[in-house]
Amino acid sequence: MGRSPKLLKMERLWNRVKTCVRCDREYVNKYVFGDGSVNARVMIVGEGPGEEEDATGHPFVGEAGELLTDILNMAGFPRREELFIANAVKCRRTSRRGDRLKNKKPSDGEVARCSVFLQNQLEIVKPRVVVGLGGTAIASLKGLKTKDVKSTQMAGLTEKGPNCWYLWTYHPAFPIYRGRDVAIIEQMVSHFKKAKELSRGRI
């Protein structure tokens, strides 16, 4: 059996991402395109790859990724592969501190330059629900500046778009920075449970 039209479109898009030179990529090892099912009902969008993701080429494989997997499991998503997980930007943004490279929050310009790829992914997958993790992802999905997004105030809110529902929640790094804040993790679990219900048309 041949590959589906969706998968062929995604492969063509991946080839475009791999040749992208819109931003400086001096310290980029691998583009992080996204993982999961092109037929996913729920698509998750994060900020951008960190050091571990840059090394592997896969999204959310570091500590925040492990917590995201745990949250998904608790919310009733036993297999990440059934979702599609991507980021607002497809390569690691860094700043140099002494001899070390540190992860850097993408600038609005970098998010804007990469937004066409994220929009193409949304058009291909056609999810019923898109979950934005944190301010950068929410800003990208809404076409806003990051300074105009307060993710802590928006967490748990939903918006009906023309083709899907949007649900906003925290980035999984947020509870980690706060000592693995149990209350925030429980909120995120409830948000993903809502996403699951929305994807089934039950809300």
Joined tokens for residue 183: 């209350």
Mean pLDDT, the chain, as a whole number?
95
DSSP annotation of 147 reads G
Query: Which residues partner with 130 through β-bridges?
Result: 43, 166
Q: Which of 16-30, 119-133, 135-149 has the lowest mean pLDDT?
A: 16-30
pLDDT digits (tens, 9 = 90+) for 124-138: 999 999 999 999 999
In order of their start, the domains of the chain are 34-91+102-199 (3.40.470.10)
pLDDT digits (tens, 9 = 90+) for 149-197: 999 999 999 999 999 999 999 999 999 999 999 999 999 999 999 999 9
Backbone phi, then psi, for 86, in 5-degree steps? -140, -175
Task: In whole angstroms, give the CA distance from residue 104 to residue 101.
Answer: 9
* DSSP-H helix ranges across 4-85: 5-18, 51-56, 63-74
Report whether pLDDT(28) > 80: yes
Give the residue-averaged pLDDT of 43-72: 97
Backbone phi, then psi, for 119, in 5-degree steps? -65, -40
